[in-house]
Structure 1
C-alpha cells in the first residue's frame, strides 16, 4: 500500500534567533556599503582612508557573494530565475529520496539497530523510572501520555481491531489445548487441588436431586405397571430410590474414601492422561475449540475485547499519575525494584527489546522509508524551504557575517601589499 501523505501548506514563522542573525548579517553588509560610499566621497588623500575603503569594498563583495550563495539554496535571489538557484525547492523530491536512503542505510538496517541496541540498557532505565515515579521527569510522563493518546486515537480502529482479533483467534487456533488441559489437571490432582472441585460436584448433584424429585417420581410412575400404580407401590418405590440417592450423595460428601469418589478420581486421572497422550482426545478437544471460536456469541465477545482494551488504555494514558498511585502503581514500583536488582532479568528484557526492535525494522523498515520519502514529496516548495531554512538558517547567516569580515580582511591584505610594493 502506498503511504502518500500530502502535508498542508504551512507558513512557519522563523525562530527569533534566525531573525536576529539575518538582521545582523544584512546590517553588516549595509554598513560596509555605506562605509565604502563614505570613504569615496570623503577621501582627503590620507593613507588611512585607502585602507578603510579597501576593507569596506572587499567586505561588501564578500558579503554580497555569500548572500547570493545562501539565498540561492532556498529561492531565486531577488526573484530572478537565475540558473542553479532555488536549489532545495527544485530538488525536494531527490532530497526526500536521499534522506530516506540515508535513514534506511544508517538507521533502519537490522545490523545497525542491533549494534546500537546492544549499547542501550532499556531495562535499567525502565526499572529506575518505575521504582521512583515521583522523582522521574513529569515532562517525560506527560509526553509519553500525549503520544500514547494520539497514537490510539489516530490509528484506524476498525482495521487495527480486526488485526488484533485476527491475531487472537489465530493464536487460539494454533494452541495445542488438550496437552495443556491434561498437564493442568494432572498437576492439580498431584497436589489434591482437585478435591474442592470434586466436592463441589457432589454438592451440586445433591442440590440437583432435591430440585428434581418430581422428575424421578414421574419416571417411576410412568414405568410402573398398573398393579403397582393401583396399590400405590410406585410412590413407595420412588421414595426409596430418592432416599437411596440422597444417602449415596451424602456419603460421598462425608467420606473422602468413598468407592465412588475413588472411581471419579480414576476417571479424572484417565482423562488427564488421554488429554496429554491420546490423539483421539486431542482431536475432540480441537474440534470443540474450533466450534467455540465459530460460535457467534464467542465472536461477539472477542470483538468486544479490543474496544475494551483500547478504552482502558486511553483511560490510563489520560491519567497516568492516578494509575501510578494505585495498587497497579505499587506493582509497577515493585517490578522496577526487581529490575534494578536482578541482572539476569534485565538481560532477558534487553534481549527481548533488541529482538523486537530489530524485527520491527526488518518487517516495516521499507514502509518507514517510503513514508519519509513520500511525505517530503508531498510537501510544497514553500513548506520544505521554510522548514529547512528555519532549521539551519541561523548558521547560514553566520556564513554571511564571516564572508563579509573575511572578505574585508582579504581586501585589507591586498591593499597593504599593493601599498608596500
Structure 2
C-alpha cells in the first residue's frame, strides 16, 4: 500500500511556483516559434528574406518539441499516450529508491569513508566551545531545547509523569538484587577500615543507652533476683556490679581496638557481608524487606515529594536557562567546556572514541539505514513523489526546453545558410 510522501513545506511551494513559471516561458517560446514559422511561410514568396526566420522557427519547433517530449517522458506519458519508455520515474520509483540507497551505502556509509570524514572533525572542541559559551550565545539552541523540556514537563503533569517515574523506579528497584550490592559495599568498607567510625559510634551509643536507662536496668535486676538476696540487701550490690561491668565493657571497647568483643563484632560484620552475597536465606530476607519498604505508603509519599521537587526545578531551569547557567552549575559547565577545548590529550581521546563509535555504527547499521531509505521510497505514493521531484528539478528542466528551442533554431539557420550558399 502506497502512502503519501512527506507533506510539502514552504520551500517546496516556492520551487513548484518557480518550475511552473519556467514551464510557461518555455511553452510560450515554443508557441512563438510556431507562429513565426507559419507567418514566415505565408509571406516568404513576397519577402524571400523571411526564409531565414522560417528556417530558424522550423528547427526551433523541432528542438523544442523534442526536448518537451524528453522532459515530459521523465514524469508522465506525453499527451496521455502510453508510449513505451515514458513516465520513467513513476514506473521505476522502486528501482530509483534502491539505486539511491545503494549509492548512499557505497559512498557515505563505508567505514573507511566515515573514518576519513570524522578524522577532520573536532567534536570535543566543538562541544567545549558550546559549553563555555557566555550567556546569550548559543541562545537559539539552548532556548529551543529549554522550551521543549519545559513544555514536556508541564504537559505530562504531576500525577501522570510522577506516576510514570515512580512506577519505573519501583519496578527497577524490585528487579534489582540489593542484597549482593549491600554485601559488596560492606565488605569493601571493612577492607578499607571505613567501618570503624560506624563501630565506634555504635559503642558510644551503647554507653549513652546504659546511662539513660540505668533505672530500668536496676529495676529489672531487682525483679529477677530471689527474695533471699533482696532480704540480705544484695540486689543493689548486684545491680551496681552489672552496671559497672557494662560501663567498663563499653569504655574498654572504645579505648582498645583489639578488644575481644570488638573483634567479635567485626567478625560478625564480615560474616554478614559474606552472607548478603552468598547465603540464599539471608538474601531472600533482605529482598523481602526491600519489597515491603517499596510498598510502604510513606516511602511512596517520599518518592512523590522528590519527584515534585525535581519537576519544579526542571521547569524553573528550563524556562530561564540563562539564570540556571549563571550560578555554580554554569561555572562547572563552562570549566568543563574550557577543559574540553584546551586539553589536547582529553580532546584526542574523546574524538577517537566518537570516531570509532560512529564508524562502528556505520559498519553495523549501514545496511539497515539504506534499507530504511529504500523501503520509505517504496512506500511513497508514485504521483506525490513524481510531483515533488518535478517541482525540485523542473525549473532546470524547463531551461533545457528553452535551450533546445534556441539551439535548434540556430542549427536551422546554419543549415539554411549552407543551402543559400549552395554548399
Label 1:165 to 1:198 Cα distance change in 2 as closer, same or farther (>3 A).
closer
Contact (CA 8 Å) 2:187, 2:270: kept in 1 or not? Answer: yes
Q: 2:291 aligns with which of 290, 293, 296?
A: 296
Query: What's 2:379 paired with?
Result: 378
Contact (CA 8 Å) 1:33, 1:56: kept in 2 or not? Answer: no
Label 1:111 to 1:32 Cα distance change in 2 as closer, same or farther (>3 A).
closer
Contact (CA 8 Å) 1:205, 1:249: kept in 2 or not? Answer: yes
Query: What's 1:116 paired with?
Result: 117
Label 1:35 to 1:399 Cα distance change in 2 as closer, same or farther (>3 A).
closer
TM-fit CA distance, 1:55: 2.7
1:40 maps onto 2:41 in alignment = no
Label 1:252 to 1:22 Cα distance change in 2 as closer, same or farther (>3 A).
same
TM-score, with structure 1 as normaliser: 0.71
TM-fit CA distance, 1:330: 1.8
CA distance in 2, matches of 1:390, 1:274: 78
Query: What's 2:329 paired with?
Result: 328
Structure 1 spans left out of the alignment, 5+ residues = none
Q: 1:24 aligns with which of 22, 25, 30?
A: 22
CA distance in 1, matches of 2:164, 2:363: 22
Contact (CA 8 Å) 1:32, 1:57: kept in 2 or not? Answer: no
Aligned length: 403
TM-score, with structure 2 as normaliser: 0.71
Q: Kindly report which structure 2 residues correspond to 1:17-416, keeping only aligned pairs within 5 A, or say none.
A: 17-42=15-40, 43-44=43-44, 45-46=46-47, 48-134=49-135, 136-142=137-143, 186-187=191-192, 189=193, 196-209=197-210, 216-217=217-218, 220=221, 224-228=225-229, 233-234=234-235, 236-246=237-247, 248-249=249-250, 258-260=255-257, 283=278, 288=283, 292=287, 295-296=290-291, 320-416=321-417
- For the aligned residue pairs, the C-alpha RMSD in angstroms reads 5.1
CA distance in 1, matches of 2:288, 2:125: 41
- Identify which range, 69-78 or 227-236, moves more after superposition: 227-236
CA distance in 1, matches of 2:369, 2:167: 22
CA distance in 2, matches of 1:290, 1:117: 53
CA distance in 1, matches of 2:99, 2:83: 25
Contact (CA 8 Å) 1:10, 1:383: kept in 2 or not? Answer: no
Larger radius of gyration: 2
Contact (CA 8 Å) 1:5, 1:374: kept in 2 or not? Answer: no
- Identify which range, 290-299 or 9-18, moves more after superposition: 290-299
Structure 2 spans left out of the alignment, 5+ residues = 156-160
CA distance in 2, matches of 1:274, 1:337: 48
Contact (CA 8 Å) 1:186, 1:272: kept in 2 or not? Answer: no
